Structure 1
Amino acid sequence: MIYSSRYPDVAVVDELIHDRVLGRAAARGALPALVDAVSGRTITYGELAVLVERLAAGLSAEGIGAGDVVALHSPNTVLFPVVFYATTRAGGTVTTLSPLATAPEIAKQLVDAKARLLVTVSALLPAARDAAERVRAETGTAIEVLVCDEAEGHRSVLGLLRDGAAPAPAVDPATGVAVLPYSSGTTGVPKGVMLSHRNISTNLEQIAGLHRIDEGDRIIAILPFFHIYGMAVLLNNALMRGATVYVHPRFDLDAFLTSLERDRITHAYLAPPVMLVLAKHPKVGQLDLSHLKRIICAAAPLDAALQAAVAERLGVEIGQAYGMTELSPGSHIHVDGAADEPPACVGSLFPSTQARLVDVASEADVAAGEPGELWIRGPQVMLGYFGRPEDTDAMIDADGWLHTGDIARVDADGNWFIVDRVKELIKYKGYQVAPAELEALLLGHPDIADAAVIGVYDDDNAEIPKAFVVPMPGAALTAEAVMDYVAGLVAPYKKVRRVELLDAIPKAASGKILRRELRQRERAQS
């Protein structure tokens, strides 16, 4: 059975994302667009429009144009969107990197994305410089490292500002790649997700009638801009609508709670760990949050009881949303004002979006009301994985259905629930962790003969990576040593947090790891 949205279709939007998002920025003039929540530094919409145009002209003068990739490696700052939209205005593609990424991780993405420039901040220069040197050593290509602030020996992006308009980008919105974020998809190592201008602009149109923010609304930005969730709701949608975005460089509990009250935040986009804070932290009860209208939680499933607890404590409407990087990123959301939607559901299907629920083994549609793997088809489905046609074909079938790897169900009222996951991907506090990536690192340890990684749940019911490790004969390997080894090679959210030593990893005759047996083992021990 093919499920369609209960809402009318929208027209495909063939508009470049900087035009779509900032088309009214100059007219908004002195309205604050971005406020640094720490320093108070403010960029108005009028200033944002000028900065983007001048930097785009500078990037064009540096030779950045259609097909060129600029890597943006930065925490949340008020200049992040300036670099982001200036790159697309020049005709280029942005690939974003976590500020927590290690030098090897950065280098790997730079090579894979074929990036020409790396833009970072001075605090992250050690990793950025190391990564650039690794790229030079591996490929013979020198990648210049620029900074958004100031650092000796590096040009600042502000030094690239030029007067006059940038050349018009020769980019087809339907095929031109605006953003190249990296995702593990349903399995495997991180891959570049090719999102076109059409993908993103149309996804913004799809959400417009379901969830509304306006000029005068105030958005708290604790989600990272580099992640597709933050990119979509804190930059693209918020700035298109004329909201003021209060930018936090990282999540700090006191700063977050202070900002909610001080900055009279009207909309908060969060992940489940922060919802737990709102439900239980004593300071929350002391705050005046009367201006807060709406909370949307996504990136990982939110427990129904927790959702209800926060809604009751704060007296605000709380809903969930669902999507993935490969969907630009949204396909479902709790619609504004839909008070009858049950807790734990991810809302309704976006307009112009179709869904199927299929049996994982047979790929036949399941009966009404039964759970099945969620397949999505619509204009927000990615172009594909960069340079990986086989991975693309495994993700998107010949009929255009994207196989999400998530198990879902839909009730008779059209409310959708995510109930399980087929895919191996681990979601640690909303971040994607690919078991295959960790397994490859573990196998590089001289004392490890074999390894497998799965997601398990800690005492707070949060998913964490656990490694099953087979030591080399005679090796004096400990769980602590394994965790320390991985921690030295990956960003903090990718760390292995539990280790169990085994005599052998269960595998099929083909050599594929039998993760279901490891999960059964874990359940038996719990």
Structure 2
Amino acid sequence: MDLRTQMRRAAGYFADREAIVHGTRRLTYGEAWTRGVRLANALAELGLKPGERIATLEKNSVEAVDIYLAAAIGNFIRVPLYARNRRESHAQMIGNTGARLAIVDEALLPELAGLDAELPDLQRIVVRDKDYEGWLAAASDRDPDPPVRPEQYCVIRHTGGTTGKPKGVAYSHRNWLAICASFLEPAPKAQLGDAVLHTGPLSHASGFMFSPFWAVGGRNVMIDAFEPLSFLATLDKEEIGYGFVAPTMLNAIVAQPAAYGRRFPKLKALMIGSAPLSERTALKSAEVFGAAAMHSAYGQTEALVVAAMGPKDWFARIEGSAPLRAVGRPLADTEIEIRDPDGRVLGPNEEGEIVVRVATRQMDGFWNDPAETEKRLVDGWVRTGDVGTIDGNGFLYLLDRVNDMIISGGFNIYPAELENVIQDHPKVQAAAVFGIPHPKWGETPLAMVVVAPGTELAEQEIIDLVAERLGSMKKPSKVVVTTEPLPLSNVGKVLRSKLREPYWAGQERRISGA
């Protein structure tokens, strides 16, 4: 099976059913598919050939669906870019993949303007402006029907780039379909008419949930941006059954008194990923949405999804385990090991790097980057760069990124562990912990804590909370209380590196020695 065949079949089966919702715009399967066919033909008229790359930069919209469908229909390789990214990152993604065309929302054009003159392979930037609909309507509505093989590439997604240049991971049609299906592995089966809410752009993790719902005759509902109460209102109004949310979104929702006491009878599964979720936020989220809707998934661009769990595991009391702090258990076809720096496999509850192997859902390597591929893909296993443990019952615990670990006086301190504890404080909306220089210990943790305007929170409260829960060795030496939101990457992860940088100004290294 390939993505084009799967989506074309559904377009025929469900031609008159509602497929796409964005604001006041609603399209049937037949209408959306015809737009996709027209765009595929219009891009071919510009010289784009099957197997060539097209970069896309957009927010959620009907037009974003156009290119999602058109790339599959024309057998083009879609290269999603991330809005509000640095121009240098856009150039790197486009240049590294050799994209021939780019298509961009008019509002986002300044992020790409002029790159067609700077990058040798980029021939043209197509702008979705006032002339877009006329250009689309003038194209043929005859399906071009190029040959497609399951092993051919259909998408190149890039890593978040929080620790260097973003790296491209190419997915074949076979990989893509397997990954999309794995996002719903722990959830109730999607059925005809079920609605999925895309809070983030289709270029992000939410995009993996588009084709599974298209395939079964569901509705893909998109919103422009996340706002807690608006999100809850959309769940109700559109009778949403499924959605993907980042922990930062749940933190914002549970902080709203108006979030409680509602009912969402159609909601079957909220998939939660991208970063660990604190115990307090998990329990508060269960109050808002009902525990039955809570599902966790873990993976990364290089290997998706590798561990997951539903509410029966997440909120269970299991001897020898703490599921509330876990990200899931390995999926049935997935191997997960914890290894030390020398590659030795560690036992239960020992901390080390998470390495994974799953034949159908992991990268073959980074696009055009053999050196980085050699570092991260070892004997068929993907080194995730994440630190974690697996307990005797198979629960996987994500402690942090290897690169974010703080070494203080010879002890390893994982920021995420402190963040989860700090976020249990009722006055805390979000927290980020990172290492700063210390003359005696080399490094020491600093906690950046976000509270609501007008909230008073003493630094010592946070220090004492961490010392009580994790021990004095791991307590932060400094706490900064702010009402400003934390900087986030394009995939919703806190940019600790951006917060850390001012404290290391003038230092030769970003890791200090005692």
TM-score, normalised relative to structure 2:
0.75
* CA distance in 2 between partners of 1:84 and 1:44 (Å): 16
Aligned partner (choices 233, 245, 270) of residue 245 of structure 2: 270
- Counterpart residue identity of residue 352, structure 1: D
Change beyond 3 A, Cα 1:268–1:308: same
Task: Classify 1:363/1:167 alpha carbon distance in 2 versus 1 (closer, same or farther; 3 Å).
Answer: same
Partner in structure 2 of residue 45 of structure 1: 29
SS at match of 2:371: helix
Counterpart of 1:458 in 2: which secondary structure? strand
**Any conservation in 2 of the 1:69–1:115 contact (CA below 8 Å)?**
yes
> How far off is 1:273 after superposition?
1.4
Q: For the structure 1 residues 156 and 404, does the alpha-carbon distance in structure 2 shift closer, same or farther, using more than 3 Å as the test?
A: farther
Work out whether residues 338 and 354 of structure 2, in 8 Å CA contact, stay in contact via their aligned partners in 1. yes
Query: How many Å separate the matches in 2 of 1:266 and 1:74?
Result: 25
Which residue does 2:143 correspond to in 1? 165
Partner of 1:459: 449
Q: Which residue of 2 aligns with 1:510?
A: none
Counterparts of 1:167-182 in structure 2, within 5 Å, are 167-169=145-147, 171-174=148-151, 176-182=152-158
Tell me by how many angstroms 1:231 deviates: 1.4
The structure 2 residue matched to 1:331, chosen from 298, 306, 310, is 306
Local SS of the residue matching 1:459: strand
- Pairing 1:385-424 to 2, within 5 Å after superposition: 385-397=366-378, 399-424=379-404
Q: Which amino acid aligns with 1:34?
A: I
User: Deviation per CA, 1:15-67, whole angstroms, max 9, x where unpaired?
Assistant: 2223234532221122211101x3x2111122223322333233333332233
Q: Is the 8 A contact 1:146 1:155 kept in 2?
A: no
Shift, 1:383, TM fit: 2.2
Q: Secondary structure at the match of 1:224?
A: coil
Take 1:500 and 1:143, find their aligned partners in 2: how far apart are those partners?
40
Residue of structure 2 aligned with 1:384, choices 357, 365, 375: 365
Amino acid at match of 2:156: L
Asked whether the 8 Å contact 1:265–1:291 carries over to 2, the reply is yes
Equivalent residue for 2:180, pick from 204, 207, 210: 204
CA shift in 2, pair 1:216/1:61, >3 Å: same
2:197 to 213, 220, 228: 220
Structure 1 residue 322 displacement after superposition: 0.4
**Alpha-carbon distance in 2 for matches of 1:340, 1:384:** 36
**1:257 paired residue among 215, 232, 237:** 232
- C-alpha change, 1:156 and 1:177, in structure 2 (3 Å) is farther
Equivalent pair of 1:120/1:146 in contact (CA under 8 Å):
yes
Residue 223 (structure 1) shift:
1.7
**Counterparts of 1:313-352 in structure 2 under 5 Å?**
313-317=288-292, 318-327=294-303, 329-335=304-310, 338=313, 341=316, 342-352=323-333
What is the percentage of aligned positions where both structures have the same residue? Answer: 23
* 1:364 aligned residue: 344
Amino acid at match of 1:366: L
Aligned-partner residue type, residue 355 of structure 1: I
Per the TM alignment, residue 381 of structure 1 is displaced from its structure 2 partner at its CA by 0.9
* Residues 302, 320 of structure 1: 8 Å contact kept: no
Please report how far the alpha carbon of residue 338 of structure 1 lies from its aligned counterpart in structure 2 after TM superposition.
4.4
Matched, 1:82 2:66: yes
Higher alpha-carbon deviation: 317-326 or 340-349: 340-349
Aligned 1:462-473 pairs, distance under 5 A:
none
What is residue 425 of structure 2 aligned with on the other side? none
TM-score, normalised to structure 1, is 0.74
Tell me the number of residue pairs that the alignment of Structure 1 and Structure 2 aligns: 433
The amino acid that maps onto 1:94 is: R
Q: CA deviation at 1:186?
A: 8.7
Alpha-carbon shift at residue 173 of structure 1 (Å): 2.3
Q: Which amino acid aligns with 1:405?
A: G
The equivalent of 1:438 in structure 2 is: none
Instruction: Using the TM superposition, name which of 264-273 and 400-409 deviates more.
Output: 264-273
Q: Distance in 2 between matches of 1:455 and 1:79?
A: 45
Partner of 2:62: helix, strand, or coil? coil
* 1:50 counterpart SS class: helix
Choose between structure 1 and 2 for higher RCO, CA contacts under 8 A separated by at least 6 residues. Answer: 1
The one-letter amino acid of 2:384's match is: T
Distance of 1:125 and 1:144 partners within structure 2: 13
Q: Does 1:31 align with 2:14?
A: no
Instruction: Tell me if the contact between 2:101 and 2:122 (Cα under 8 Å) persists in the aligned partners.
Output: no
Q: CA RMSD in A?
A: 3.3
Alignment partners' CA distance in 1, 2:215 and 2:71: 17
Partner residue of 1:55 out of 39, 42, 47: 39
Deviation of 1:409 after TM superposition, in Å, equals 2.0
Report the alpha carbon displacement of residue 221 of structure 1 after superposing the two structures with TM.
1.2
The residue number in structure 2 matching 1:505 is 507
